[in-house]
């Protein structure tokens, strides 16, 4: 008789001894075998068989001495001793045994007091707390999860007393702790040899995990055999669970019972995910994968979605997803890439994580492009509707809305991450490069089509977008009133796309109240025009003029604005109150003179040229993308610094957006119209006269809402005019969502950032002593030592 069964019978016997009649409910039937063989001294056992009528007929003779209130008759010398076993839930019996219950006691799961509680988890926990306290909680959890039967618990309890040496060596007999301590380190080997306990350890592992290893071998060899068994068994179990059978894995031993398999999988997962054991897992797993030659087992990507056993499996999965993307199976690729990006080997090997991130971004961008192409077929072809779709998405009853600008964000992140990748010369990245080429081609195709549709919509509508604020009105409507009430900063970020502004404000946190809205940028979308449109007085009218030197300027009133100096002078003269002019860099580490200027000013004009300057002046595309990725955080730092310096309101706006693709194909370039050229950019010609072309959109300045006799030519779609600087992939000036939809963010400081007090320190620790690739893991510890209280980390 097992220890748990013995405990149960003791409880039942004691209740019979004290109360005579025991009604025992077993709703889950876990004690059926015990009840079938129950034999207590001088006690009748009645078992429910087919109906309560039949059971009551057998029980009634034993209840003839029971009064109506459930007590026994006074002259009864010996109360009846009977156990009534019912494998049913008490609530479902409709009080069929109420007389017996009143005359005696009820034993069932959850009964009170604990001596009548027959819940198997409670029984197991009570027994194991006596015989193996360190295993009690784990055993109870397994029972709760339905992974242990009474028979198994009886057997396990009988074995617990045989693992004394294991407990002396490892301090526990809990299989998870013992296993992980053994496989991850050799520090217990000497004690195992000294106490001759390898056989005992093997018995424990066999009992719990169903893993059989030889006990008559050196401890180090037994460890290696165990690791090999564990990892190959995990691989085989997970491949089979995915619905695949692989002949090369048929000979791999694996646990027989479902419970043991679950335990084995949990052990492997815990080994991988414990930070203190991660290095041991990677070392051993890599050694075993080379010994076994895992790549030669015939594994396919569809088998491995949930497998993290060996690092070499990542390459199989990556190639499968890359092939899936090229076959346009974007949704499935996205789902898997998201999961694998945070998987074990991705977290251990930054190169692997970067590749998964690239595939996730590529699939996300391609899905967005696919959806935009679908929605273009049904959307109203007017500028306001197109801009609303770009900013907020097209409403749908069948799926969540998706702003069309999301495609641009995915494309920007994809190109940034791809610039970080160090391509290998052996060709292992060739499939990934094919995915990038496919994503680039689709992005350009869809963005070009959107630009073409927007250009025609503008031409039809007279370059108006009903309900969309115009860039010329930003200062009057957003800045002037705020500056009259609070210290305000007007932050102008050259070439900040709408989607970039979205990401910018998303990262500001709860210290700021933010509203972001689109504005229709003043065409042509170049700096001289867009920045002038953001100046005071722009709402009263602009005139496009020849500023000389191959450049245009914009006249507001009697002043021609053609560069930063002329705009600043105009701002000083026309803005109300005391003003100060700063560059974004001035806010990073302001001098005392700068801080004094800021404190004295009522309205600050802050300008940032980082995005546009790097895009236009840098010939290295990868360098430009890496730099641009840092700009948004730099702008956030500037906003936080402004708040810390007492600014209450901040308005962020852009002169124009931009398009940044790989180098524009020669087929997308065309000659400028000639004639009298005043200014020429890849996306716009400004001048007088010249040739006409079916791919040109030619307009006068007047049609764009500006005075002056100059004409403008915009190439259709994303095509470019041949000009100085037209060879790269960064450009603006034309008509596209990316160039002409500009952001206007109004930011109220709700909680000024805390000023630094005390001291701070940062400690960086490289995870591995040797750096072998461009990417490596670093642990950063940031400690703030305050003036009061404990340090915070």
- 766 within 8 A of 780, measured Cβ to Cβ: no
Alpha-carbon dihedral 355, 357, 359, 363, rounded to 10 degrees: -170
pLDDT tens digits, 546-584 = 999 999 999 999 999 999 999 999 999 999 999 999 999
- pLDDT, residue 694, reads 86
- The DSSP bridge pattern shows strands 469-470 and 488-493 to be unpaired
Write out the two tokens for 211: 């893993």
Q: What confidence category does residue 147 fall into, taking pLDDT thresholds of 50, 70 and 90?
A: confident
Average pLDDT on 587-607 reads: 94
Label each residue of 173-192 as H, E or C.
CCHHHHHHHHHHCCCCHHHH
Confidence tier at 67 by pLDDT (50, 70, 90)? low
The listed range with the strongest mean pLDDT (46-60, 65-79, 145-159) is 46-60
pLDDT at 778: 66
Beta-bridge partner residues of 760: 784
Q: Is the pLDDT of residue 785 over 80?
A: no
What is the tally of helices (H) and strands (E) in the chain? 31, 24
Q: Quick one: pLDDT at residue 2?
A: 83
Q: Residue 217 has what pLDDT?
A: 92
pLDDT interval class at 757 (50, 70, 90): very low
**761 has pLDDT over 70:** no
- Residue-level pLDDT at 726: 56
Share of the chain above pLDDT 70, in %: 91
pLDDT in tens, 656-671: 999 999 888 888 899 9
Q: What is the mean pLDDT of residues 726-751?
A: 92
Virtual torsion, Cα 247, 249, 254, 256, nearest 10 deg = -20
* Lowest model confidence (mean pLDDT) among 208-212, 368-372, 404-408: 208-212
> Which pLDDT tens digit goes with each residue over 519-533?
999 999 999 999 999
Q: Give pLDDT tens digits for 678-688.
A: 999 999 999 99
In this structure, what are the phi and psi dihedrals at residue 731, rounded to the nearest 5 degrees? Answer: -160, 165
Q: Compute φ and ψ for 640, nearest 5 degrees.
A: -65, -35
pLDDT tens-digit map of 458-510: 999 999 999 999 999 999 999 999 999 999 999 999 999 999 999 999 999 89
User: CA-CA distance, 196 to 191, in Å (whole number)?
Assistant: 8
Residue burial 626-642, b: 16+ Cβ < 10 Å; e: rest: ebbbebbeebbebbbbb
pLDDT at 787: 41
* pLDDT given for residue 710 in this prediction: 97
317, 323 in Cβ contact below 8 A? no
Look at 130 and 779; give whichever has higher pLDDT: 130
Arithmetic mean of pLDDT over the chain: 89
Residues 163-206 pLDDT 10s: 567 777 887 767 788 889 999 989 988 888 888 888 888 888 88
pTM above 0.95, yes or no: no
Q: What pLDDT band is residue 789 in, cutting at 50, 70 and 90?
A: very low
The pLDDT of residue 788 is above 50: no
d(C-alpha 396, C-alpha 190), whole Å: 68
3-state secondary structure of 785: strand
- The rounded distance, in Å, linking the Cα atoms of 712 and 710 is 7
pLDDT band, very low/low/confident/very high, at 751 (cuts 50, 70, 90): confident
Exposed/middle/buried for residue 373 (C-beta within 10 Å: 0-12, 13-18, 19+): middle
- The whole-number pLDDT of residue 725 equals 62
Q: Mean pLDDT throughout 610-617?
A: 90
The CA distances from residue 116 to 24, 80, 94, 394, 691, in Å, are 9, 19, 21, 63, 100
pLDDT tens for each residue of 425-444: 667 788 999 999 999 999 99
Percentage of residues of the chain with pLDDT beyond 90: 65
Calculate the alpha carbon distances from 541 to 60, 293, 689 in Å: 104, 74, 25
**Residue 588 burial (CB < 10 Å; 0-12/13-18/19+)?**
exposed
156 or 49, which is more confident = 49
pLDDT in tens, 340-352: 999 999 999 999 9
pLDDT confidence tier of residue 242, bands split at 50, 70 and 90? very high
CA atoms within 13 A on the CB side of 640: 19
| 469 vs 150, residue with greater confidence | 469
Give the pLDDT score at 499: 98
> Is the pLDDT score of 78 beyond 80?
no
Which uninterrupted H or E stretch holds 712?
Answer: strand 711-715
pLDDT average, residue stretch 761-787 = 60
């Amino acid at each position: 008789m097992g220890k748990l069964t013995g405990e149960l019978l003791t409880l039942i016997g004691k209740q019979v001894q004290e109360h005579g009649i025991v009604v025992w409910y077993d709703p889950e039937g876990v004690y059926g075998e015990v009840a079938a063989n129950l034999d207590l001294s001088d006690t009748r056992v009645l078992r429910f068989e087919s109906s309560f009528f039949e059971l009551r007929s057998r029980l009634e003779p034993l209840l003839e001495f029971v009064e109506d209130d459930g007590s026994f008759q006074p002259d009864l010398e010996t109360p009846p001793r009977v156990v009534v076993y019912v494998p049913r839930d008490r609530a479902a019996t409709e009080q069929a045994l109420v007389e017996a219950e009143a005359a005696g006691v009820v034993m069932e799961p959850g009964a009170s007091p604990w001596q009548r509680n027959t819940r198997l988890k409670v029984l197991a926990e009570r027994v194991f707390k006596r015989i193996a306290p360190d295993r009690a909680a784990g055993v109870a959890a397994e029972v709760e999860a339905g992974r242990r039967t009474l028979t198994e618990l009886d057997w396990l309890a009988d074995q617990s007393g045989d693992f004394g040496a294991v407990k002396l060596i490892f301090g526990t007999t809990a299989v998870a702790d013992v296993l992980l301590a053994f496989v991850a380190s050799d520090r217990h080997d000497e004690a195992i040899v000294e106490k001759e306990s390898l056989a005992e350890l093997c018995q424990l592992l066999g009992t719990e995990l169903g893993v059989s290893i030889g006990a008559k071998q050196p401890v180090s060899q037994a460890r290696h055999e165990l690791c090999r068994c564990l990892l190959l068994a995990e691989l085989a179990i997970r491949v089979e669970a995915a619905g695949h059978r692989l002949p090369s894995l048929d000979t791999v031993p694996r646990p027989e019972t479902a419970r043991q398999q679950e335990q084995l999988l949990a052990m492997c997962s815990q080994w991988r995910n414990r930070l203190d054991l991660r290095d041991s897992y990677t070392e051993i797993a890599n050694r075993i994968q080379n010994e076994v030659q895992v790549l030669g087992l015939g594994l396919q990507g569809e088998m491995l979605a949930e497998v993290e056993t060996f690092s070499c499996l990542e390459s199989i999965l990556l190639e499968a997803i890359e092939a899936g993307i090229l076959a346009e199976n974007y949704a499935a690729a996205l789902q898997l890439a998201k999961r694998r990006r945070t998987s074990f080997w991705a977290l251990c090997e930054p190169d692997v994580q970067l590749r998964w991130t690239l595939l996730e971004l590529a699939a996300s961008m391609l899905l967005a492009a696919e959806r935009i192409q679908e929605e273009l077929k049904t959307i109203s072809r007017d500028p306001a509707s197109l801009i609303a779709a770009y900013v907020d998405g097209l409403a749908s009853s069948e799926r969540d809305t998706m702003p069309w600008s999301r495609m641009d964000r995915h494309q920007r992140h994809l190109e940034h991450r791809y610039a970080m990748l160090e391509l290998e010369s052996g060709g292992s990245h060739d499939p990934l490069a094919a995915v990038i080429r496919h994503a680039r081609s689709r992005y350009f195709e869809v963005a070009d089509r959107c630009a073409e549709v927007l250009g025609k919509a503008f031409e039809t509508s007279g370059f108006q977008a009903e309900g969309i604020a115009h860039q010329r009105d930003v200062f009057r409507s957003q800045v002037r009133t705020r500056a009259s009430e609070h210290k305000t900063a007007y932050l102008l970020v050259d070439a900040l796309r709408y989607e970039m502004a979205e990401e910018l404000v998303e990262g500001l946190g709860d210290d700021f109240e933010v509203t972001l809205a689109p504005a229709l940028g003043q065409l042509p979308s170049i700096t001289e025009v867009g920045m002038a449109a953001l100046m005071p007085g722009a709402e009263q009218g602009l005139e496009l003029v020849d500023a000389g030197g191959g450049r245009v300027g914009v006249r507001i009133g009697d002043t021609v604005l053609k560069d930063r100096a002329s705009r600043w002078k105009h701002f000083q003269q026309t803005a109300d109150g005391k003003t100060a002019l700063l560059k974004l860099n001035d806010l990073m580490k302001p001098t005392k003179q700068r801080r004094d200027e800021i404190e004295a000013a009522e309205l600050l004009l802050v300008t940032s040229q980082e995005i546009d300057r790097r895009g236009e002046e840098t010939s290295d595309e990868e360098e430009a993308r890496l730099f641009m990725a840092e700009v948004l955080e730099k702008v956030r730092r500037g906003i936080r610094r402004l708040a810390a310096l007492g600014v209450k309101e901040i308005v962020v706006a852009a002169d124009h957006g931009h398009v940044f693709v790989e180098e524009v194909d020669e087929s997308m370039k065309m000659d400028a119209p000639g004639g009298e050229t005043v200014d020429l950019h890849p996306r716009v010609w400004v001048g007088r006269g010249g040739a006409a072309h079916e791919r040109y959109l030619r307009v006068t300045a007047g049609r764009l809402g500006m005075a002056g006799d100059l004409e403008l030519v915009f190439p259709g779609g994303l095509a470019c005019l041949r000009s100085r600087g037209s060879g790269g992939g960064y450009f603006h000036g034309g008509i596209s969502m990316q160039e002409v939809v500009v952001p206007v963010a109004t930011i109220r400081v709700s909680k000024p950032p805390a000023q630094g007090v005390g001291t701070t320190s940062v400690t960086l620790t490289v995870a591995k002593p040797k750096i072998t690739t461009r990417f490596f893991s670093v642990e950063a510890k940031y400690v703030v030592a305050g003036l009061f209280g404990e340090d915070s980390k």
